Chain A
Amino acid sequence: MDGKYETIIIGGGVVGNGIAYHLSERYKEGVLVLDKKYPLSGTSGSTQAWVWVHNKTPSWYAELNYYSAELYPYLSKKIGDVEYKRTGGLSPFFQEKDKEKALYLAESYEKIGIKIKVLSKEEVLVKEQCINPKVVGATYSSIDGNVNPFRLIDRYMRSAKKNNVEYSTYNKVTDIKKQDGQYIIVSDKKNYMCKNLILAGGTWSNELGNMLGINIPIYQLRGQILVSEPLKPFLRHTVSGLRQANNGEVLMGYSMEKKGFNRSTTLDVIQETANMAVHYVPSLRKAKIVRAFSGIRAMPEDGFPILGTVPGFENLYVAATHSGVTLSPLIGTLITELILDGETSFPIDNYSISRFN
């Protein structure tokens, strides 16, 4: 039958593409990725794209992020330059009371072998000279960094295509049915049939789950970002809320608003973001902003990724999470293992969808 595939991945964002690429490393036929628009038009294309471990809690969730961040250097060898930089992550604080919190964080991470240093004011200013001298201290982790999200998804797609993964874009899935041990996917362009189905719809995971009568509790959490003109390289680290890209532009912002799918940028948050930026790095005052943008995080109800099989549905897999950029190399690896080997090399029991029952 035309439109028959071994595996279909719904969603071509960083999570869906990460799975497509890793799957294609091990089997070379019969994988299709469906995207309602074009990859990068949603969450994955509107992010600062930190590869971030630093403040992820509890420790078992930090570990997931840590191992994924560790895969990045190898990933960029395999798929090509994605402008991955392990800059180290710095979260400055300006009040004495935050020091205690920082020390607790360092202590709890030490137990799982992730090093977080609590830096004094002087140490912060040696590491990052542009930080406001009113700083009290900072937490620092050497594993953190950032990546170019456009290059990342583009390279995932190109590498997956090279391994015969097919893509159908501008093709919205409107219904999913189960029939004789197969899944029938009804889309704008045509109907498809597959054995393995992976739901990687990000912010739209709820809608996809509903088509099969499954509850995938994801809500939308907006973030707004400002982009500066290209500046000479001066910001060495990925700072909480700020990073400088390879071309010199500085991305700034770390905001959270529950506004559904509304992707507006708003003056109040833009101003607050400007305040944060000049408070952290006073020399940015004279920098020019060329653009504001916003993106919608796919936030699971309890904040943790939803990964793995779905009880009662054979060969159905869910991968829905925020922090998709940080986690995509590991999620891609683990979902591939789950499909091909029936088990994962890293335990994902904590992330099962069954926890929401």
Chain B
Amino acid sequence: MDKTKIICRCEEISYEEIEEVVGHGAKTFDDIKRLTRCGMGPCQAKTCTNLVAMVIHEQTGTPLSEIPLPRIRMPLSPIKLETLATNSTTFSTVKSVLDELELEEGRVK
């Protein structure tokens, strides 16, 4: 493959940028993602997964069947925040940093 070829269109990451981090020991799609942002854009690796696997295969000789897939997370395609929100303003697991302050005898500990 041409070294300047764009592998991740969302983040404009080229073959040689991926090659460079594989040279530093990155082995999986997710390693490469964190170091280059490849696959972090709006399509969330839907376009580049197989292309990146090819680069890893070409650079390391790892059989394609042994290259792990990227971790897929919610939402599977972009979704508006208002669709997720229920408009409740009471929180339990989610906190503000002030919630964490503990007072002791009317003073901050």
A residues sitting closer than 8 Å to B (CB atoms) are 38, 40-41, 45, 52, 54-55, 57-58, 91-94, 98, 101-102, 104-105, 107-108, 139, 150, 154, 157, 167, 169-170, 226, 228-229, 240-241, 253-257, 265, 267-279, 284-293
Residue of B30, B41, B81 near A274 (CB, 8 A) is B81
Leading 6 A-B pairs by shortest Cβ distance: A274-B84, A288-B78, A285-B82, A274-B85, A55-B97, A240-B97
Q: Which residues of B contact A270 (CB under 8 A)?
A: 74, 84
Which stretch, B1-9, B49-57, B87-95, touches the partner chain A? B87-95
Number of A-B contacts (CB under 8 A): 152
New contact pairs (16) apart from A229-B42, A229-B78, CB-CB < 8 Å:
A38-B27, A55-B97, A58-B108, A104-B103, A104-B108, A108-B108, A150-B34, A150-B35, A154-B35, A170-B27, A241-B94, A268-B93, A271-B84, A272-B91, A275-B87, A287-B81
Give complex CA distance A45, B32 in Å.
Answer: 12
Number of interface residues of B (CB under 8 A): 44
Summarize A's interface: helix, strand, loop or mixed.
mixed
What's the minimum C-beta distance from B62 to chain A, rounded to whole angstroms?
12
Taking a contact as CB atoms closer than 8 A, the residue among A139, A167, A256, A288 that contacts B93 in the complex is: A256
> Is there an interface contact between A285 and B98, defined as CB atoms closer than 8 Å?
no
Answer yes or no: B100 CB below 8 A from chain A CBs. yes
B96 touches A272 (CB 8 A): no
B-side residues, CB < 8 A to A, are 24-28, 30-31, 34-35, 37, 40-42, 44, 73-75, 78-82, 84-89, 91-98, 100-103, 106-109
